[in-house]
């Protein structure tokens, strides 16, 4: 994984996260939006992630449930708003334990030869929501998640070549 940069300017309602993956853009888009693969990289490895629903099309809904070793459940849901293969996808994101704090996620994938630069633009409803998310350890979680994604990309990419 290339260096991850997370930028959250004081007083703004957004976070920009940029990183590079050692996989072509088409494969990155596929793995990031394939319901059968999302549970393998989404979230921390200490949680079991189940994709309950993921209708990957404009207007399609998604719901992901995670369980910790004690059985505590964490559920998230949203709606896909735009998908332009292999360049961009946009969806809403809401943690069900904090309803009415919806954020918008915009993923842009830039082709860099055999690699891909991912630019995540996360828009929050308020600066307080954004700062609250940052306080949860979001950056460390994002680094772990991208490392898991890169391992999965290597495995899926190798399987597609054979």
- Specify if 135 maps to a domain: yes
Query: Domain for residue 50, yes or no?
Result: no
What whole-number distance in Å separates Cα of residue 105 and Cα of residue 138?
A: 14
The secondary structure of residue 68, as a DSSP letter, is: -
Please say whether the beta carbons of 120 and 1 come within 8 A. Answer: no
What percent of the chain stands above pLDDT 70?
A: 99
Count of beta carbons in the 10 Å neighbourhood of residue 99: 8
Task: Please report the pLDDT score of residue 41 as a whole number.
Answer: 96
Task: Specify the pTM.
Answer: 0.93
Residue 3: the pLDDT is 82
Domain presence at residue 68: no
pLDDT tens digits, 118-161: 999 999 999 999 998 888 888 888 999 999 999 999 999 998 88
Which residues in the chain show pLDDT less than 70? 1-2
CA pair distance 109, 94, nearest whole angstrom: 23
Q: Does 51 reside within a domain?
A: no
CATH of the domain at 15: 3.30.530.20
pLDDT at 161: 84
Distance between CA atoms of 42 and 32, rounded to whole angstroms? Answer: 9
- Residue 96 in any domain: the answer is yes
Pairing of strands 73-84, 5-7: unpaired
pLDDT for position 68: 94
Quick one: pLDDT at residue 2? 60
Domain count along the chain: 1
Q: Is residue 75 part of a domain?
A: no
Quote the CA–CA distance of 138 and 23 in Å, as a whole number. Answer: 24
* Helix 138-161 with 127-135: angle, nearest 10 deg: 70
Domain region containing 129 = 5-43+81-161
Does some domain include residue 55? no
């Amino acid at each position: 994984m290339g260096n991850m940069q997370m930028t959250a300017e004081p007083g703004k309602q957004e976070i920009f996260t940029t990183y590079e993956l050692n996989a072509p853009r088409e494969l990155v888009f596929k793995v990031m939006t394939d319901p059968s693969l999302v549970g393998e990289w989404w979230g921390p490895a200490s949680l079991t992630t189940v994709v309950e629903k993921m209708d990957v099309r404009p207007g399609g809904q998604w719901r992901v449930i995670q369980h910790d070793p004690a059985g505590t459940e964490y559920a998230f849901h949203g709606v896909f708003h735009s998908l332009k293969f292999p360049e961009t996808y946009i969806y809403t994101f809401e943690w069900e334990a904090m309803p009415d704090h919806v954020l918008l996620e915009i993923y842009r994938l830039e082709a860099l030869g055999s690699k891909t630069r991912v630019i995540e633009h996360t828009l929050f409803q308020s600066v307080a929501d954004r700062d609250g998310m940052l306080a949860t350890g979001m950056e460390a979680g994002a680094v772990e998640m991208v490392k898991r994604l890169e391992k999965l990309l290597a495995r899926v990419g190798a399987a597609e070549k054979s």
